[in-house]
């Protein structure tokens, strides 16, 4: 019998010291980390999630140091796994992320462009450390896959890319609907139909969650191991806590966390 | 000044998040790759993520394997986390057969692929501890912890308090033996349950 619980994930999109709101992959600046804490009580959000994803959407190499500092800071009050990525192009990039408090590395473009590097990363850090991010949207009725922050279409369709990526040494798949991204219209059921029932690695469903009920679609599906939202305005402060309580009442297979106990452990040794 | 604890740095694993959790609890973590520093510490944490063989090579290259044995023999407290727990075993079949530190008598193998499970085992799973004291004090009856691994340690042969977890098959989730303990899961990534377990380790 399988007792492993499903995960509710919050994703932060980062660009040059600021966190961003994305809608169909168009980005809008929201605020920096202190601003996020002050206005949206991010510390409370961290008590209600099972994992944090932090993606650097900026592409100048100079920004990596600053991004790593943000990943480190997020570790201070966040005692769940952190998957971080964006622009990973070398083993050294990944090592620096992992040494800054990331538990897993999110990769996207190299899944298509540099599979040798994917193999190197897996040999160095283990395949469980690699989260394969796939951005997909409909083009003329077909789900196509895009790399480079959703800007570059690659050959083939979602089905062929999924088959290729699951054959690589990766640990999880982060499947994002660009059509639903930031819309709050709910997860993309049609996209999910392209995921085979025997997908060999855990699947994270991304893009479109706007209210607690939306998470249910993902959590109730056998293929889905985790659901994620990056919707800062809909799901920050105590709203993820309320979503979680709603989902637990609905019988969803999530862990019930005790935020008060965590607070009481601060400085207790 | 909080309690001093040394986190062994051998180039494998998430030292930073372990340190964050220790700081939250009020400790002063010292990250070190110096065997002499490790030998002097009353509390030592051996973290680790990645390849078993590479980890053993790197520990050996820096003389840290001897330092870990020294910690155990001198009665200091040792906690192995994830790969760090597996390294305490006799051997692993990862990357061909590799000898471990041999501090406990257990071996490490890949999860049974024929069990119809996704590999790696990722996510929060419940553990079933044989004790409610020591390392397991103050935890809920079936506490959940964060796992992320493809290889798992066998349960057999342990006579100390321990906890099992089920993922397709039963495997060793944690053990608590005299001054040596281990956790296959990541306590630093398991909300209040994990911090409670780290507190239990540091309070001895």
Domains parsed from chain A with CATH numbers: 7-264 (3.20.20.70)
Question: Could you report the predicted ipTM of this complex, rounded to two decimals?
Answer: 0.91
Interface of B with A in 76-115 (CB under 8 A): none
Q: Write out chain B residues lying below 8 Å of A80, CB-based.
A: 146, 189-191
Strands (E), B9-104: 28-32, 43-46, 77-81, 91-92, 98-99
Chain A interface includes B126 (CB < 8 A): yes
Smallest CA–CA distance from A102 into chain B, residue: B14
Q: Which of A264-268, B6-10, B95-99 has the lowest mean pLDDT?
A: B95-99
What fold characterizes domain B4-202? Rossmann fold (3.40.50)
Q: Is B186 a catalytic residue?
A: yes
- pTM, 2 dp: 0.93
- Neighbouring C-beta atoms of residue A77, cutoff 10 Å: 18
Q: What amino acid positions of A are annotated as catalytic residues? A: 135
Host H or E run for residue B183: strand B180-183
A-B Cβ pairs (cutoff 8 Å, strict) = 151
Given CA atoms A27, A33, A38, A43 in this order, what sign does their dihedral have? positive
Tens of pLDDT, residues A141-177: 999 999 999 999 999 999 999 999 999 999 999 999 9
Phi, psi of B84 (to 5 degrees): -60, -35
Q: Write out chain A residues lying below 8 Å of B117, CB-based.
A: 2
Q: Which of B27, B82, B165, B181 is catalytic?
A: B82
Of the candidates B128, B193, B139, the residue with the CA atom closest to the CA atom of residue B165: B128
Asked if A220 and A252 count as a contact pair (C-beta separation under 8 A), the reply is yes
Tens of pLDDT, residues B107-136: 999 999 888 888 889 899 999 999 999 999
HSE value, Cβ hemisphere, 13 Å, CA-based, for A73:
14
DSSP 8-state symbol, B186: B
Structure tokens at A141: 């009725």
Of the candidates A104, A63, A105, A113, the residue with the CA atom closest to the CA atom of residue A88: A105
Asked if A136 and A178 count as a contact pair (C-beta separation under 8 A), the reply is yes
DSSP 8-state symbol, A4: P
Tens of pLDDT, residues A83-120: 999 989 999 999 999 989 999 999 999 999 999 999 99
Asked if A160 and A142 count as a contact pair (C-beta separation under 8 A), the reply is no
- Nearest-Cα distance to chain A for B73, in Å, is 25
Contact criterion met (CB < 8 Å) for A6 and B125: no
């Amino acid at each position: 019998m399988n007792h492993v619980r499903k995960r509710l994930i919050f994703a932060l999109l980062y660009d040059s010291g600021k966190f961003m709101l994305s809608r169909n992959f168009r980005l809008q600046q929201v605020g920096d980390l202190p601003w996020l804490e002050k206005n949206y009580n991010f510390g409370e959000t961290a008590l209600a999630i099972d994992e944090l994803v932090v993606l650097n959407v900026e592409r100048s190499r100079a920004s990596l140091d600053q991004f790593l500092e943000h990943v480190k800071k997020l570790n201070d009050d966040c005692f769940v796994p952190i998957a971080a990525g964006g622009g990973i192009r070398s083993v050294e990039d990944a090592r620096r992320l992992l040494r800054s408090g990331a538990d897993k590395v999110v990769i996207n473009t190299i899944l298509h462009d540099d599979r040798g590097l994917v193999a190197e990363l897996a040999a160095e850090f283990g395949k469980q450390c690699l989260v394969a991010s796939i951005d997909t949207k409909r083009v003329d009725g077909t789900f196509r896959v895009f790399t480079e922050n959703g800007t570059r279409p690659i050959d083939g369709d979602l089905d062929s890319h999924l088959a290729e990526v699951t054959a690589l040494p990766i640990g999880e798949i982060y499947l994002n609907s660009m059509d639903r991204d930031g819309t709050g219209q709910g997860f993309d059921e049609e996209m999910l139909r392209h995921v085979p029932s025997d997908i060999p690695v855990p699947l994270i469903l991304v893009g479109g969650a706007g209210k607690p009920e939306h998470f249910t679609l993902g959590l109730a599906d056998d293929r889905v191991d985790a659901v994620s939202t990056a919707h800062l305005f809909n799901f920050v402060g105590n709203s993820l806590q309320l979503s979680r309580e709603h989902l637990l009442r609905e019988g969803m297979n999530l862990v019930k966390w005790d935020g008060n106990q965590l607070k009481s452990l601060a400085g207790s040794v | 000044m909080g309690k001093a604890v040394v986190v062994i740095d051998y180039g494998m694993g998430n030292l930073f998040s372990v340190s964050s959790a220790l700081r939250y609890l009020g400790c002063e973590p010292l990250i070190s790759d110096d065997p002499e520093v490790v030998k002097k510490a009353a509390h030592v944490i051996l973290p680790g993520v990645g390849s078993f063989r590479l980890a053993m090579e790197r520990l050996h290259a820096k003389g840290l394997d001897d330092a870990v044995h020294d910690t155990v023999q001198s009665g200091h407290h040792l906690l192995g986390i994830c790969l760090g727990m597996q390294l305490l075993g006799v051997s692993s079949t990862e990357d061909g057969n590799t000898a471990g530190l041999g501090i406990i008598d257990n071996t490490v193998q890949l999860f049974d692929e024929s069990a119809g499970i996704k590999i790696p085992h990722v996510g929060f799973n419940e553990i079933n501890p044989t004790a409610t004291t020591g390392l397991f004090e103050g935890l809920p009856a079936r506490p959940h912890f964060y796992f992320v691994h493809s290889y798992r340690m066998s349960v057999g042969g342990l006579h100390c308090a321990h906890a099992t977890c089920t993922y397709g098959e039963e495997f060793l989730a944690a053990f608590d033996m005299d001054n040596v303990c281990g956790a296959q899961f990541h306590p630093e990534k398991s909300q209040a349950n994990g911090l409670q377990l780290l507190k239990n380790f540091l309070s001895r």
